[in-house]
Amino acid sequence: MDIRTQFSMSFHLDKCLGCHTCSVSCKNIWTTRRGAEYMWWNNVETKPGTGYPVTWEDQDRYRGGWEVSGGNLRLKLLKGPGKIRSLANIFFQPNLPTIDDYYEPFTYDYQNLFNAPAGDDQPTARPRSLITGEFMEKIVLGPNWDDDMGGSPVYAANDPNLKALSESQKECLTKFHKLFFFYVPRICNHCLNPGCVASCPSGAIYKRGEDGIVLIDQDTCRAWRFCVSACPFKKPYYNWATGKSEKCIFCYPRVETSQANACAHSCVGRIRHVGLLFYDADRIEETAKVSDERIVEAMRDIILDPNDPAVEEAARKAGVEDNWIVAAQNSPAYKMFVKWRISLPNHPEFRTLPMNFYLPPLSPILHDAKSDTGGTFDPISSDFFNDIDKMRVPVRYLASLLSAGNEQLVIESLKKQMAVRIYQRHKRIGDVGADVAKNALAQVGLSVEDADEIYTLLSLATYEERFVIPETHRESQTSIDPRTVYEKRGTVGFGKKQHNRELLGRSW
């Protein structure tokens, strides 16, 4: 067992307001520089919708992530006659998104509002390109261009996740009177098997062994942009001014001092939780090869139980500090993903083993329940769990987004969330009997203690409970090279392994 620690963020999708405060706080801190104007390390997408860059989830188009071929794991990007194609593509990658797939960043000519000479018409603030400085005639795209337009056939129709739906389900989802949409905030997933790291010809991207944060060494980056292509989430961005790639750094200067990431700290809906996970680095490759149907379970398996004395001892032997072990034991990420099984990864079928997790939204079910009972949610209905199958957003859609198509995992999470609501209704309003409430919990395998803890964590949690972030003691970490390299054994092109060894003198 090669025990490693990993920061992980969880998102409670029912509570996201789509206010974009997270995106703005991230931008204000990290991407206001020239060349970074179009970058949104944190962005919030309306679903169903096309996303940013447009249709990023469509790997037939972008060829990001991994596939299993002949029993081996290989980057989709490198599909074809191996390294020959890779080398042929090194100067031109046909699957790279262009600026038109993001948007041409712009500002407005605000000064004209103040300085325009007197005239018959009101002065206007025309849009001006932040790349060329020229006036733009027409703005056709932005980072949240289809914000709140989830039901619109113009945008929702292009959502790659709709491929999984039948025609009648698609129609149901996009009919105006049935319209329902929700928001999906996205940052880099700081994956266990990151395509960006494995693809970099320069060996500039590395995953820190001590906390799992994936970073790009700006001195080593040579602008090949393979990271942009190989990341199926399209979270590395090319800075056209510096000629280097950049990405979300999980706010490492903040988390090292025990502060929450800027996006999480500023989150108005308090939908985000940050915690630690322990995982077994020896099992990354075998986990990434598991079939779509089972890959989420395999991801749960590779996460180690921080309360297991053997794991605790192994962590200590591996040099993990005591305050990190305690933090892992109190980790909201561990509880939600592994213990209660209510959170799920985004597109696990891309096989990067993403380490951020989402609680699927329950609200469409409750909305239906209200309408069926004349405006009153009736949790006593004997078939309340069946309503889950009648959601406005079909379970199949959520499964395409969060569980590689495994609908049972989504249903499991939704039922548990529903059971907790029923139990709390019993406790707080009293119109549900104790037997009904406890029966609901028993049906989904939750105890009363679990239900209380889930309710507290998702609804009432304090700052310290939402963000269980231990301080990093760099002064006592002489044995851990902060630039520890993630080595993708045997799957990396361009001799990167060798390069990393030479560069850093060690690998793990």
Q: Which residues bind ligand SF4 (CB under 6 A)?
A: 16-22, 44, 183, 185, 188-191, 194-196, 214, 231, 233, 235-236, 247, 267-269, 271, 352
Task: Please identify which residue in the block is written with the tokens 């939204």.
Answer: 361
Nearer to ligand SF4, 147 or 452 (CB): 147
Say which amino acid occupies 206.
Y
| CB 217, CB 507: distance < 8 Å | no
Which residue in this structure is represented by tokens 């009363």?
448
Choice between 19 and 164, CB closer to ligand SF4? 19
**311, 27 contact by CB (below 8 A):** no
44 versus 255: smaller Cβ distance to ligand SF4: 44
Closest CA to 8 of 230, 200, 260, 349: 260
Smallest distance from ligand SF4 to CB 507, Å = 18
Which residue type sits at 403? Answer: S
Three-state secondary-structure class, residue 416: helix
Task: Tell me how far, at minimum, the Cβ of 189 lies from ligand SF4, in Å.
Answer: 4
SS3 string, 134-156, reads CECCCCCCCCCCCCCCCCCCCCH
HSE-up of residue 423 (Cα within 13 Å, Cβ side): 24
Cβ pair 284, 192 in contact under 8 A:
yes
Instruction: Select 44 or 414, whichever has its Cβ closest to ligand SF4.
Output: 44
**Beta carbons within 10 angstroms of residue 29's beta carbon:** 16
CB of 235 to ligand SF4, least distance (A): 4
C-beta of 165 vs 264, nearer to ligand SF4: 264
CB of 102 to ligand SF4, least distance (A): 15
Residue 339 beta carbon to ligand SF4: minimum distance, rounded to whole angstroms:
23
Nearer Cβ to ligand SF4 (16/325): 16
Evaluate whether 237 touches 36 at the Cβ level (below 8 Å): yes
CB of 504 to ligand SF4, least distance (A): 18
- Residue 16 Cβ, how far from ligand SF4 at the closest point, in Å? 3
Report angle CA 124, 53, 355 to the nearest 5 degrees: 130
Of 288, 221, 215, which Cα lies nearest the Cα of 252?
Answer: 215
Using the minimum distance from each CB to ligand SF4, give the nearer residue, 174 or 343.
343
Q: Say how many residues make up the chain.
A: 508
Shortest spacing between CB 267 and ligand SF4, in angstroms: 3
Q: Distance between CA 211 and CA 195 in Å, rounded?
A: 18
Burial class (CB in 10 A: 0-12, 13-18, 19+), 39: buried
Pairing of the two strands 237-239 and 344-345:
unpaired
Residue 217 CB neighbour total at 10 angstroms: 16
Residue 208 or 426: the one with the smaller Cβ distance to ligand SF4 is 208
Shortest spacing between CB 269 and ligand SF4, in angstroms? 3
Interacting residues of 380 by C-beta distance below 8 A, sequence separation 6+:
431, 432, 433, 436
Q: Which is nearer to ligand SF4, 255 or 419 (CB)?
A: 255
Instruction: Indicate the residue among 6 and 400 with the shorter CB distance to ligand SF4.
Output: 6
Min dist. Cβ of residue 74 to ligand SF4 (A): 15
Minimum CB distance to ligand SF4, residue 446 (Å) = 26
Shorter beta-carbon distance to ligand SF4: residue 42 or 406:
42
Least spacing, CB of residue 494 vs ligand SF4, in Å: 17
Alpha helices by DSSP H, listed for 250-394, are 252-255, 262-266, 284-288, 295-302, 309-317, 322-329, 332-334, 363-372
Q: CA torsion sign, 151 to 152 to 153 to 155?
A: negative
Choose between 39 and 419: whose C-beta lies nearer to ligand SF4.
Answer: 39
Strand partners, 358: 11, 344
Q: How far is CA 478 from CA 161, 383, 473, in A?
A: 46, 58, 10
